[in-house]
Structures are given as structure tokens and as C-alpha cells.
Structure 1
Amino acid sequence: MRISVTGCGYLGAVHASAMAQLGHDVVGIDVDAAKIDRLAAGEPPFFEPGLPDLLTESTASGRLRFTTDAAAAANATVHFVAVGTPQTADGNAADLRYVDAAIDGLLPHIGPGHTVVGKSTVPVGTAARLAERVKATGARLAWNPEFLREGFAVDDTVEPDRLVYGVEAGDDSSVAVLDEVYEHALGLGTPRIVTDFATAELVKVSANAFLATKISFINAMAEIAEATGADVTQLADAIGHDARIGRRFLNAGVGFGGGCLPKDIRAFTARADELGRGDAVAFLKEVDAINLRRRKRVVDLATAELGGSVVGRKVAVLGVTFKPNSDDVRDSPALDVAVSLKGLGANVVATDPKGIENARSRHPQLDYVDDVNEALRGADLVILVTEWAEYRQLDPAAARTLVAMPTIIDGRNTLDRDAWVGAGWRYRGMGRD
């Protein structure tokens, strides 16, 4: 099929590349000329495992190209909108200016036989509003939310765990078009749910709200464990055996971050307030508060371990991205902890396999090093806040020879506590000592 993808950020670049790999003829469109130049050269402007090879193969095949010219969409019949919906600067609501601009850019180039497909995460009611503008051209609108996990985005696009189509009643044509787009995934048995606009919009935000709630629940239990001497990791193991609960996303630590969960639950509560149903999701405000509290808990632990003051003490912070296998530092708990300690007077030295450049652009006041051994050397305290494999696999005996004081705070409860204690370290976890 001939496909256009408007918005070539994280979602759009991955989607465009994957669609081309599956055999479609794809053009990626974005207003950022520098980004387009990098993508056209086969260089992703962000880190995502597997994407460089996919991008190179797709552009070399001739099935994928990139441009800043919105008129290039006229050669396609299926138009994905994959722009960002960040939190507004003055509130919690989603900023829809980029979605509206994307639709405005498409309108002159679409008509009968064309299908516009929204992939951006938007407040419920957005698709219905946009549909009237799209239908005025003779085209159709569908909403097809994304469920990408950073670090696994390529696989999640090529072989998704489910497909959701939001369409107007009786719009069998859009369903048929999306079935053709996703023929590969459907052939593998991927579940497909065809529903209305509102339900499709709610699927993504409610999924993220549920995951955020589960993470904050176990972090709330960590607070109780810290007050009682219980071990939250063993608690999670025990309750996770209940099939109704499950063990996934029951890992206590410094909390969630990134460009999706925090802003999506805030936008969800803002939209619910607009609908007069704010009470229904009022609990999400506490979910958010618990999550942010865990960052402060790490800072408080660090201060306590250094005798009540961090001023002038070297603190090695392992990780700045919000999760491993990503260079994304948006709303990163790790970076938040580092910045907070720096503000309290600590000599913070941060390291990360992929996120240093992005972190430095946001917080140049921190000291960054590429080598984890350099970060550890002479440190009075070590804090692991992003569970990269290279940090989980550190040799505690070798690391002990580098630091000034062998004290580590495991902000992700990911290290082998017995091994670190056995190597002479003072170990502090989250809700487990």
C-alpha cells in the first residue's frame, strides 16, 4: 500500500520503517529538516534497538523516504498521524496543537478513497472532532492507538500484541484498509478489536493508567515495608502468584517516568475533569504522587547514608534514562534524583550507556562520564537508578576497590543483595531492608 506517516519522532519513525519493511511504499513527513536529513541518511535521531538496521534496509530498498514537504502525502492513500501530544506548559492536559497541525497539513492532499489513521495518544473525543474535518474532503478517519514499549518498539510494531481499530459505525472500508496494512500481524494471529472512536482512544490511556497504578501500588507497599521491616520484593513474589494479580509490573523502586505514563495519566485526569467525571479517576492523582514520592525517598536515603548532608560528597549515579535500552530522559526518575542531589550540594557524577547527550542538554550542571569505573572512582555513595544490564552485572568486589565508601542504594531492587553485602558493601534497597 502507499502510506504517509506525518510525524517522524519516536513513534512515527519506527512505524514508517516497519511498514516499509513489511512491503508498503512509505513516505515520512516532518517539519524538522534536521531530523528528516538524519532519517534519510539512515541515522535515527534517538536510540532504539534494531531501528538503525531496519531504517537502513527500508531506505535502501526504495520503499521508504523522508521529506518536509506535506504535499508528498498526495501520492499515498493511507495517512498515519503519529505526532506527539505532550503535557501543556500550564496544566496537565494534552497539548493537541501538533495533532491539529498534522490534520491541517493533510487536508489539501486527501480525498475520496483516502483513509487518515490516528496513532497519537489523544484525549477521548478528539477523533470525533477531527472526523468531521476529514470527511469534508471525502476521506475517512480511523483511530489506531499504538502500544509501543521503548526498547522493544520495532518488534511491537511488526508483531503487536493486539490491534485496535476505532471507526465510525458502518465504516467497513477503513477496517478493510487497516486489515491490508496489518496483513502480516493478522496472519500471525494478532487479536483485532474493532470499536468506536471513544473506546479506541480510551484503550491506550486506560492501559497506561492501569500499569501506572500497579507500579505505584507496589511502591506504596514499599513505604509500608520500610516502616515495618518487611521485604517488598518477597511480598511482590507472594502476591504475584495470584493469577488475578500477576508478577509483572510489581517491581518496587524509584518509580516510572518517560514520555508516556506520567503525561498520559495527568491528561486522563484533566479530560475526566472536563467531562465532569473527575471523581472516577481521582485515584490517579495519588498514583502520580506516590510515584514522585519514591524519587524523594532515594534522595532522603542518600542524605541519611552520608550522615545528614550530601554537601561536597561525591555521588555516582548509574543511569540517567527513565528505563534501560533507551536514550529517553523525559520525566526520568534517575535524572530527577541526580539533579536533586546536585541542588543539595553533592558532587554528582552521572553515567549512562545511551542517555548522556540528552541529559546534558537538559541539565548541563551535572558532571557526566561515559565510563562507569570513572563514575565509581572515589565515590562516597553509589546509586543505581536505571537498571541497564552493565550495571546489574557489575562485579561488587571489583567495584569496591574503586570507591571511597562502599555504600550503594539500589533504586530498582535489581542487584543481588547477598553478593554485594558479601563483598563488603552496605546495601540499601527500596522497601526491603
Structure 2
Amino acid sequence: MPAPAAAPARSARPRAVAGAGLAVVPAANAAVVLVLFARAGASANALILLGRLTGLFGALLMAFQLLLVARLPWLDRRLGMDRLTSWHRWVGFSLLWLLVAHAVLVTTGYASLASLPPVDELVSPATTVEGVLRAVVALLPVAVVGGVSARFARRRMAYETWHFVHLYAYVAVVLAFSHQVAVGTTFTSSPFATAYWWTLWGLAPGAVLAGRVVLPLRRNLRHRLRVAAVVPESDDVVSVHVTGRDLDRLPARAGQFFLWRSLTRDRWWQANPFSLSAAPDGRSLRLTAKALGPGSASLRSLRVGTRVFAEGPYGAFTALHRTRPNTLLVAGGVGATPVRALMEELTGHVVLVYRVTREQDAVLLDELRGLAHARGAVLHVVTGPTRDDPLGPGPLGRAAPDARDRDVFVCGPPGMTAAVLRALRELGVPRRQVHAERFGLAR
């Protein structure tokens, strides 16, 4: 049958609007902090002055960090968890260096005034001045979290362990705020300054509480999700069908994912991210996963009727971000699951390029062929060894000669995704038309 009529392109891109808004928030708050700092009065010692300023910006970044990981639906749908998490990582490294600079500058400054060695100057206030010891202790979890977030450490650590270590960052937030209340001169310099910092430290943790606790609990109490069927797709791929109440009111879109937690005795504590492999129809949800680790492998043993706790939907890999009438989809391996769901929702002409080592490894290939036939789409299955690079500018250009006039959605292993993004740049596809989703979190 012919493809549905194409949706009109948007004049304002949701990602650009959200990104600009998110940039304005820290910039405006930085201006406020500078004004409060100037009005609080300056120290005669330049090191102490710089130390206080780095401490204030560190407090501001710490609050901004919480906003980035709050998983607020409006931001997540427009920017995606991948992008927000990446920003969170780099802001985190900046925060670590600001806090280290704060400690070093303030300690050195006061040591020079007292004509004491810096270590002695650090130890004395930490044991006598209220709040200083909390700051010293707060720096430790920030340093640990920063260390495990480095790429070489992250690659060697299980996702669950990495996530557990990050929970200690909340301890640092509490300690840092109590330190600011106890000894921060800018905090008490005026009623407005006190109100500003209390509001900032109330809104940032409040956003985390709302996005990561209150909203998931509310949705799961409302929808009461349960496993309806477990369908093996191949020896190492399984689909899980989930039903519940009022699913037509769950704001999920094709291409998004949930953090799924099966409420069984041995798996209730572990959440794994899996994409929807079919467009939500208001009656059920389907996820399809390949056995890449304990979490995904355990799906095959789920029993019908098992209660499920799902956090989400998350992700910006949706038709919300389309800018052109027609689309090129590029999938690799199990990355075809969100692409398969997205293919149901897309309008206009669609070209799908599916990269696998062998055709037998292609996930949901029969469904993709059926969808392509029904919607008048073109499907290319590209096979070959992993070391080969069959998705360069030449092959992609031949699959979609008009790629520059299409939106391009890419989902697959990191190496393949990076190669495709390079090829698209060489083909001259505008950056605003390229939408990529990492598929490396599920374990």
C-alpha cells in the first residue's frame, strides 16, 4: 500500500528549543551568583577570593547536575537521556575540578594569612569550624564518582556497580549544602541571597524526587504492569509483552525505552534499559532484547503474570524530531528494535539499512520485511564481518541517493553508529537532520 501522507516539517526544532532553554538556566544563575558574590564583600586575600568564587560556582554546578539527571519528561523527550547523561558527565568533571580548586585556594589563602603550612591550616578548621569537615568529607564521594566515570574505569565496571557508586553523590550534595549554610558568607549576606540559595537547593533535589521517584511510582500504581507473554524470537533473542491498565494514557512513543524492573525475588533490585520494539497501541507494550548480560538473559525465564515496574518512557529517538518528509533509518544488530517500532509511526517514504554480521543475526527481520512491504518502504540488509565497514558514504549514498533531503535515524553499537555519523557528514547531511541513539546500556 502507498506510504501515508508526509507530516509537515516544524519551524522550531524541539531539541534546539530545549537545549537553548537548558543553556539559559545555568547562565542566568551564574549571573545572579556573581552579583551576590560582589555584594557579599571581598577578602583582602586574592586566593581566598578566588576560592570562594569557585566554591559558589561549584554549588551552582552541583544543583545543575541534579537537574540533568532528574529525568524530567519535557527535557528527556526533547534532548534524550543519552545527551543529558553526556552533559552530566562533563559537568561532573568540571564540578570536581571546581571543588578541588575551592579547597586548595581557600586553604592556601588562609594559610598565607596565618603563616602556617597549608596542611595545618586545613586540619585546624576541619576540626574546629562547623561545616568545614562536612566539606572535606563531601569532596571524597565527588572524587570517587569522578574516578569511576572516566572511560577506562567505566568500561571495566558493571552498569549496576557504576550506578550504585553514583548514589553516593547525593551524600555529597547534602554535605556540601550544609557546609554552605554553616560557613558561606554569600549565603547569609542578604535576605535575598539566603532565599535564592534555599530555593535553588530546594528545586534541584525536588526535580530529582519528582522525576525519579514520584512520577514512576504514580505511573506504576496507575498502570499496574504485568507480563502477558514471553516469546522467543531466536536462540538468544526474546520478546516480552506487557499489559496493564489505562495504557492509552501512558505517554510512550515509538523509539523510546523504559528502565524495566521485574518484581521477582532475585531481580527486583535491578533495572535494565530496553527499547520498545513495537509502537505503543494503548493496550500493550513490547520489548525485545538479545542476551548480552544477566539482565537481558533473565527475560527468557520470566513467567506470565509477573509484576513489572517500569520507569519511563525515556529517549528522544522519536518522530517528534523530524524535520523532513522522508526518512533514512540505519540500524545495527539489536538496535533494530526501536527502529522497528519507529517504522510503524513514520510517515512519508522510508529507507531502512540494517547492518548485521549474518542474516541469521537480524532481529525481527520478518516483521521488518512485512512493514516495509505494507508501507512502501525500501529495506536493505547489509551483512559482513564486524571488521569491515560496509556503511561508508558510498553504500549509504547508493541506498538513499537523496539522503541530504531526509531525516536520518541511527541506532546500533557505538562503533557502527560512529562510522555512520562520519559517513553522513561526508554525504553532506545537515546535522539537524541526524538523530542518533546509543544502544550500549542494556546488560
TM over 0.5: no
Ranked by relative contact order (alpha carbons within 8 Å, sequence separation 6 or more), the top structure is 2
Greater C-alpha radius of gyration: 2
TM-score (norm 2): 0.28
TM-score between the two structures when normalised by the length of structure 1: 0.28
